[in-house]
Amino acid sequence: MKIKTAKFAISNSDYTKCPQGNLPEYAFIGRSNVGKSSLINMLTNHKGLAKTSSTPGKTLLINHFLINDEWYIVDLPGYGYAQRSKDSREKLKKIIEDYVLEREQMTNLFVLVDSRLKPQAIDLEFMEWLGENGVPFSIVFTKLDKLGKVAGAQAVGAYKRHLLQTWEELPPVFLTSSEDGRGRDEILDYIGQINQSLSEK
């Protein structure tokens, strides 16, 4: 799928105030600093569309970006940033959970995991929670440019094997780098296919 236009639409902390209408939306979630906002800029080919930062905890709101006037990309706050106060972590958790569970337009959640790290409990628990709640999701490995070819393939393979200890089957998996653009066509084609099947309903 080609991205013709990508426009910031609205930011807020309340899923009920997100854009009205029934355009499908695709949200990006994961630990603080995993690379959600960078991936959105890479996918849309639009540096600076989503705000990025080298310090965790940059994105604190639900951010909608309208793509090709047909669907939305949604940038979500990261979870699990330990430096934050308990109170503000709880608030972010509530924003994320309400959005994920209640937002009817949310078509697929992309869960980002850092390809350099061993499977982290916080991500595994989050995916477990998605499964229990029947939320459709895919896994996106980020920052693969930081690993060599062999190490990258090994890390992803080990992660999948770990998941298969508890999951019967794996969700779709994407290997990405916001630095070199790998994974872009695969994710956009995946979204394009879902949009196509929704429009045929």
**Contact set with ligand GTP (CB under 6 A):** 30, 32-38, 52-54, 56-59, 77-78, 142-143, 145-146, 177-179
Candidate ranges 34-42, 100-108, 111-119, 173-181; the one touching Mg ion (CB under 5 A): 34-42
Residue 178 in contact with Mg ion, rule: CB under 5 A: no
- CA distance between the termini of the chain: 20
Smallest distance from ligand GTP to CB 195, Å: 24
Question: 106: which DSSP letter?
Answer: E
Smallest distance from Mg ion to CB 63, Å: 8
Contact 115, 147 (CB under 8 A): yes
Q: Which is nearer to ligand GTP, 78 or 195 (CB)?
A: 78
Spatial CB neighbours of 100, under 8 Å, sequence gap ≥ 6: 27, 29, 106, 109, 130, 133, 135
142 binds, among ligand GTP, Mg ion, none (CB under 5 to 8 A by kind): ligand GTP
Residue 143 in contact with Mg ion, rule: CB under 5 A: no
33 binds, among ligand GTP, Mg ion, none (CB under 5 to 8 A by kind): ligand GTP
- HSE-CB of 77 using CA atoms within 13 angstroms: 26
Residues linked to residue 136 through DSSP beta bridges, in sequence order: none
Candidate ranges 20-28, 57-65, 138-146, 173-181; the one touching Mg ion (CB under 5 A): 57-65
Residue 32 in contact with Mg ion, rule: CB under 5 A: no
Distance CA 7, CA 64 (A): 9
In this chain, which residue has its C-beta nearest to ligand GTP? 78
Hey, what's the torsion of the CAs at 27, 50, 63, 121, to 10 degrees? 50
Q: Which is nearer to ligand GTP, 42 or 191 (CB)?
A: 42
Sheet-wide strand order for 173-175: 6-12, 62-67, 71-75, 25-30, 106-114, 137-142, 173-175
Residues that bind Mg ion (CB under 5 A): 36-37, 58-59
